[in-house]
Amino acid sequence: GQRVSLVRTNVAAMFRALLAATLGLAGLSHANSVALRHAQQHAPEEQLFTVALRASTGHAYVPVSHRNVRPSQRHVSLLERSAAFSHQQSRQASLQTALYRMRAQAQRVHALQYFGEVTIGSPPQTFTVIFDTGSGHLMVPSVKCDSAACAKHKRFQANQSSTAIPISWADEPLTRAEDDTDRDTMVVNFATGDAVGQYMRDKVCLGGLSGKFCAMADFVEMTEESDDPFKDAQWDGIVGLGQAVSDAADFNIFGVLSTNSTPSMKMPVFAVYLGRDIDGEAEITFGGVRKERMASALTWMPVYEEGYWQFQISDVLINGKSTNMCKKYGQRQCQGVLDTGSSLVMGPENDVALILKELSFERDTQISCTKDQKFPNLGFVIAGKTFEMEADDYMDRSQDGHDANMQSCWAHLMPVRDTGRGPIFVLGMPFLRAFYTAYDVKNKKIGVALASHKASTVHSKDVVVEPLVALRPGMDDSAGKPAAAVDNKRKVAEAKKEGH
């Protein structure tokens, strides 16, 4: 019996749970409202762990698709396997493909990254990683990788871990591989490159060297990496936090830790906080939420379709006035997804074109504007409440190359072609910087609150905070002139020293 190769789309899962509460990294996850806050106040120290996130601008970095290939079947395409899907699975695959395409487009246009740490193995090996609510696997370079891109990063050394177990098949995540040449291979496509990996199982801890939550879980060790985007990346790998996007439950890192971690995680919730600016604080919290990061109570909404953190949007407002654009989609209304791996707010072409026009961007996402020109607020009605972004949340200004009273203004919105399956708005980093988001993996809920961007000076035994370094590498500015790198490393070092 030759094993049948499986193409894992997990779209239903990705769209069910993708950003049910958020972005995702730009607000990776956030917890329930009153009950969660009460639990945080009275929880023992190990129940809540916060990982500081480093932010940087650079090349595209999150996965835009993946597939599994077995030794006997090295070329498998989604189209070739689509006949094997049920009608519902085929529909979910279309949604996944559409989201992947949107993420890739955003990463090419406006790349921005936040990253922190995770440890793998016994003793622990520390990796710098992207936390991505739009994908489903933990992926790190392998010591078996001899690509130039891998050589510049920390690589997982299975022979240095007493708890490492090689895994043969994606659909048998507990089966030890007896033959290294007869194993599933995962091919991962990024917006600007590719990677190939094999499956492993080992002790995984969220929170770096001081990781609070640890459990045996499956992950992917990358055995090949293309130069772009990996070679010059300031991170080693990716932690996928999609609720049901993984090849199997054992690959869902947060799902595994929320039920089987040592010490026990009392609340199956993660939350994402992003600072307004590159030099601001940013973090992801595991096991609960931090009320000091919220300027309002959390509003909770159910995941509309499992897979991604997906939810309903009943209306889009411009300066509080309804656009009525969601009515034409019937009971399904508009659909939103929280995605920490998307650097823009994206949506169906016609809808976003209308929004841009109402925001004074008539023909393009970049216009010439006066220094004192005012722009409308952009609001999304979710679970009966309006979440309104001010102009500074969804756009940037620059005076480079202009006279004293003129500027360039550009909106961080991107129109994309409709999926044909209904409207999908991907609420990426602009939304996640304005709002604190929480993700409840057990109850399949997403929480959103207005973010508080005051500096956090709270010392709490219930909260462990690892400040995240934010970095914008040196690059050309909007006028084509070299601009120096900007980061908050000194601020982070001071915060760690003071124990914030």
Phi/psi at 165 (5° precision): -135, 120
**What confidence score (pLDDT) does residue 295 get?**
96
Token pair in block for residue 459:
């010392």
**What confidence score (pLDDT) does residue 364 get?**
84
Angle at 114 (CA atoms; ends 108, 119), nearest 5 degrees: 125
Nearest to 379 by CA among 440, 438, 341, 336: 336
Residues 30 and 452: beta-carbon distance below 8 Å: no
- DSSP state at residue 77: -
Q: HEC profile for 487-499?
A: ECHHHHHHHHHHC
> Cα dist. 232→60, 117, 236, 480 in Å?
11, 18, 10, 21
**What confidence score (pLDDT) does residue 467 get?**
60
As a whole number of angstroms, the distance between CA 77 and CA 89 comes to: 15
**What confidence score (pLDDT) does residue 96 get?**
57
Query: Known catalytic residue: 132?
Result: yes
**What confidence score (pLDDT) does residue 382 get?**
97
Nearest to 134 by CA among 112, 109, 104: 104
Tokens 């130069």 correspond to 227
**What confidence score (pLDDT) does residue 113 get?**
75
Q: Could you read off the pLDDT of 381-438 as tens digits, one per residue?
A: 999 999 999 999 999 888 777 788 898 898 999 887 765 555 789 999 899 999 999 9
Q: How far apart are the first and last CA of the chain?
A: 58
Segments of the chain scoring below 70 in pLDDT? 1-112, 191-192, 208-211, 418-422, 457-500
Residues 229 and 190: beta-carbon distance below 8 Å: yes
DSSP H helical ranges for 25-176 = 34-42, 78-81, 87-109, 148-151
Residue of 202, 279, 339, 393 marked catalytic:
339
Q: What burial class does residue 159 get, using C-beta atoms within 10 Å of its C-beta: 0-12 exposed, 13-18 middle, 19+ buried?
A: exposed
Count of C-beta atoms within a 10 Å radius of residue 333: 19
Instruction: Give the residues across from 115 on adjacent strands.
Output: 54, 130
Nearest to 309 by CA among 229, 254, 377, 355: 254
Residues 202 and 211: beta-carbon distance below 8 Å: no
Nearest to 20 by CA among 10, 11, 12, 30: 30
Residues 452 and 296: beta-carbon distance below 8 Å: no
Tokens 């990061």 correspond to 293
Residue of 132, 218, 236, 440 marked catalytic:
132
Its pTM stands at: 0.79
Distance of CA 297 to the CA centre of its chain: 23
**What confidence score (pLDDT) does residue 341 get?**
81
Residues 134 and 310: beta-carbon distance below 8 Å: no
Residues 129 and 118: beta-carbon distance below 8 Å: yes
**What confidence score (pLDDT) does residue 403 get?**
81
Query: Known catalytic residue: 487?
Result: no
